[in-house]
Amino acid sequence: MKRALITGITGQDGSYLAEFLLHKGYRVFGLRRRTSTPNYTNIEHIVDRIEIIDGDLSDLSSLIRALQISDPDEVYNLGAQSYVETSWPQPLLTSELTAIGVTNMLEAVRLVKPTTRFYQASSSEMFGKVLETPQRETTPFYPRSPYGVAKVYSHWMTVNYRESFNLFACSGILFNHESPRRGIEFVTRKVTNAVARIKLGLQKELRMGNLEARRDWGFAGDYVQAMWLMLQQESPEDYVIATGETHSVRELLEVAFSYVGLDYRDYVVNDERFHRPAEVDLLLGDSSKAKKQLGWERKVGFVQLIQMMVDSDLQHNQARLYGTYKDQGYDFSDPMVAASLSD
């Protein structure tokens, strides 16, 4: 039985990857940082099948301990301060976790078990102000946020540990990938959640930033398979993982609102607070290397992805609404009540 240690297990990708590895028969260990209230929403359905180890990317000794306990064949380093917008007001924390945290993890692997295969979650944000379109493995980096800068550092540290210490270390340069488990502040989930709430009468408007930014959006469930494939190769390399399609935030709004029969122009309000000090205008990835060498291809398309997320947010918000009505004493066994609330 192969053993894997995942950092960022409670996040979007960590939860999909854990499911994927369990399905492959792995023994899965997950590093989680202590929080005052447990944050297991994404993993509650599998938490009894994974082994949780307390630790923090900023604490090398806790990572060494996690490596000793899990004794992994593969480490997937997904933990990070991953929200680009937060990286401006909190640049030092972002550097501490998203940059130095990776060196801590690489050091822990080198010191405890250097034969471990290591995956680093690199990002299309490293391309930033793009110097070539579509972006591929050889496109130069020009990050546009403290987050992007931190990811460039950690990307090159991973390459450096591969070349200096002969670690089997790979960086996956993943373009935006989303799912119903996406954090609520990221643009896709912010939109699909608002669409559901507006449809259900829980929200009146949606305040947004730059609608012209373009992203290459894929489904997280497809992308975690690519992470695993990278660690199954004969030699460690870096790969771009993307759909090869780009859409604007405005197109995202059109798809999400029209799915429930609404026009986004009736609800969206421009709000300066959501405009960034420096923007990444256009991302479009070329993942032909991954297709050729890993045999990887995305399965879920853009419209299908957004509709899946709207459906899921409708369900969540409806359940919450029903809960509220229940607390107020509504009788759901009465078909008239159920029908009036489900419209």
Name the residue type at position 322: Y
Stretch of 27-35, 81-89, 153-161, 327-335 contacting ligand GDR, by CB under 6 A? 81-89
CB of 74 to ligand GDR, least distance (A): 21
Encoding tokens for residue 267? 């609800």
Cα–Cα distance measured from residue 222 to residue 159, given in angstroms and rounded to the nearest whole number: 24
Encoding tokens for residue 235? 């030699």
Entry field: residues in the chain: 343
Q: Is 177 in the site for ligand NDP (CB under 6 A)?
A: yes
Which residue, among 113, 111, 139, has the nearest Cα to 124 in the 3D structure? 139
Rg (CA), the chain: 21
Which residue, among 310, 285, 306, has the nearest Cα to 136 in the 3D structure? 285
Whether residue 21 contacts residue 4, with contact meaning beta carbons closer than 8 Å, is answered with yes
Q: Is 225 in the site for ligand NDP (CB under 6 A)?
A: no
Name the residue type at position 66: A
Q: Is 10 in the site for ligand NDP (CB under 6 A)?
A: yes
Stretch of 37-45, 121-129, 158-166, 305-313 contacting ligand GDR, by CB under 6 A? 121-129
Q: Is 231 in the site for ligand GDR (CB under 6 A)?
A: no
Instruction: Note if 125 is an active site residue.
Output: yes
Instruction: Note if 178 is an active site residue.
Output: no
CB of 182 to ligand NDP, least distance (A): 7
User: Which does residue 84 bind out of ligand NDP, ligand GDR, none, counting CB within 5 to 8 angstroms by kind?
Assistant: ligand GDR
Spot the catalytic one: 19, 74, 85, 125: 125
Cα–Cα distance measured from residue 101 to residue 212, given in angstroms and rounded to the nearest whole number: 33
User: Which does residue 97 bind out of ligand GDR, ligand NDP, none, counting CB within 5 to 8 angstroms by kind?
Assistant: ligand NDP
Burial class (CB in 10 A: 0-12, 13-18, 19+), 77: buried
Encoding tokens for residue 222? 């497809």
Q: Is 104 in the site for ligand GDR (CB under 6 A)?
A: no
Whether residue 230 contacts residue 267, with contact meaning beta carbons closer than 8 Å, is answered with no
Query: Which position among 63, 76, 82, 146 is part of the footprint of ligand NDP (CB under 6 A)?
Result: 82
Q: Is 158 in the site for ligand NDP (CB under 6 A)?
A: no
Query: Which position among 87, 104, 123, 192 is part of the footprint of ligand GDR (CB under 6 A)?
Result: 123
Identify which of residues 168 and 222 has a Cβ nearer to ligand NDP in the complex. Answer: 222
Distances (CA, A) of 153 to 93, 101, 126, 265, 292: 14, 11, 9, 40, 27
Q: Provide CB contacts within 8 A for 39, sequence distance 6+.
A: 10, 32
Cα–Cα distance measured from residue 261 to residue 259, given in angstroms and rounded to the nearest whole number: 6
Spot the catalytic one: 62, 70, 82, 123: 123
Identify which of residues 67 and 249 has a Cβ nearer to ligand GDR in the complex. Answer: 249
Identify which of residues 176 and 312 has a Cβ nearer to ligand NDP in the complex. Answer: 176
Which residue, among 76, 80, 73, has the nearest Cα to 30 in the 3D structure? 76
Q: Is 176 in the site for ligand GDR (CB under 6 A)?
A: yes
Identify which of residues 198 and 222 has a Cβ nearer to ligand NDP in the complex. Answer: 222
CB of 7 to ligand NDP, least distance (A): 6
Q: Is 224 in the site for ligand GDR (CB under 6 A)?
A: no
Query: Which amino acids are annotated catalytic?
Result: 123, 125, 147
User: What residues make contact with ligand NDP under the rule CB under 6 A?
Assistant: 7-14, 31, 33, 35, 39, 56-58, 78-82, 97, 121, 123, 174, 176-177, 183
